[in-house]
Amino acid sequence: MTQATRIASHFQQFFGRPPTVIARAPGRVEFIGNHTDYNGGSVLGAGIDRHVWVAVSRGLPGQFRFCSDQQSEVQSLPAGTSVKQTGALSWLNYPLGVWLGLEKFGLPQPADFDLLVYSDLPAGAGLSSSAALELATGLAFLKLAGAETISPQTLAELGRHAENNFVGVPCGVLDQGTIAFARRDHLVHIDCSGPVFSATPMPAGLRLWVFNSLTKHALIDGMYAQRHAECQQAAQALGVNLLATLTPAEFHARRAALPEVLAKRAEHIIEEHARVGKVVCALAAGNSAEVGSLLTASHRSSQHLFGNSTPELDFLVDRLTAIPGVLGARLTGGGFGGAVLALTGTEFNDAAAQAVARAYTEKFGRAPGILPLQVADGAQLLTS
């Protein structure tokens, strides 16, 4: 039985009819480019082989109905509601934000709908389950409303609009852009000053592993917004609109004009933007060791300058980078908990990963999640 068949069966159980459309979107790893997106910099990301599926059909007149694989009850809201949900219903804000955004983008909206969400993507791990939900929902709603096509860039912008303007997270374009443009065996390179999207081949023989610290990764509770504000304050003090427009040399010539906290935040962003360019060059040259070194340098910058790492993430990076076969490791995503990405050769295997997990468990009293990943294609419709 395929995953789409299972989801259709669940939909039938909840709503008494088969879905009209099923769409899916992958999670993403931030390969490098930590918090550079909303600062006008460049990032590299990749779609992964863990997904969020959204199944929809026309629903009861005047109602939006929602359910997920994580709950046993259908939640019903008045059709067209623009009221932000709280508590256990907060996850509804992602599809609601997408539905509300369709009108602003001049795109058709289904008047009513039944919606089922299924995921094998761990939430809160920094793998962008929220953006995956937004983009899968966008594709499903548009197909249900009779739209023929949508460009990956518009889909990414729709998802980001929902996140910024309804959910309330001031994210950049990394998450939605990577998921919209993801391509198997390639990294997505985003010049966020455009934005401009391109594909960077992933060299053969490299592997990605994610180690989920199982610590809180909550962007909405203020830490992400605080870093966003600090970056804006630093840019203003330096006389630029966006931090990434400064070169490292230009920044260091002006660094003394900033309070120390803002100087650290700015240094991280400007040096991180430069690291992304170096990684692209190293990938093109087949210099995997240099790529790995730059990933680890990115983590140290997050740890010491940007302040969005945690003891758990630092421990994982320290243990991983001491193991032969691990080229580099860094936190992935917004930080403040979540996951570490490790870039490895083929000699790093499950036994080595389990050794890291045992050390983590001994230190922190809980086992980390381990995800060996393949680089996967982006958001797509599965049925119509």
The residues annotated with a catalytic role in the active site are: 175
**Are 150 and 142 contacting, i.e. CB atoms less than 8 angstroms apart?**
yes
How does 35-63 read in b/e, with b if 16+ C-beta sit within 10 Å?
bbbbbbbbbbbbbbbbbbbbbbbebeeee
How does 339-377 read in b/e, with b if 16+ C-beta sit within 10 Å?
bbbbbbeeebeeebbeebbeebeeebeeebeebebebbb
Phi/psi at 143 (nearest 5 deg)? -65, -40
CB atoms closer than 10 angstroms to residue 286: 11
Phi/psi at 151 (nearest 5 deg)? -75, 150
Task: Please tell me the distance from the alpha carbon of residue 34 to that of residue 299, in angstroms, as a whole number.
Answer: 9
Task: Please tell me the distance from the alpha carbon of residue 42 to that of residue 194, in angstroms, as a whole number.
Answer: 10
Task: Please tell me the distance from the alpha carbon of residue 17 to that of residue 31, in angstroms, as a whole number.
Answer: 41
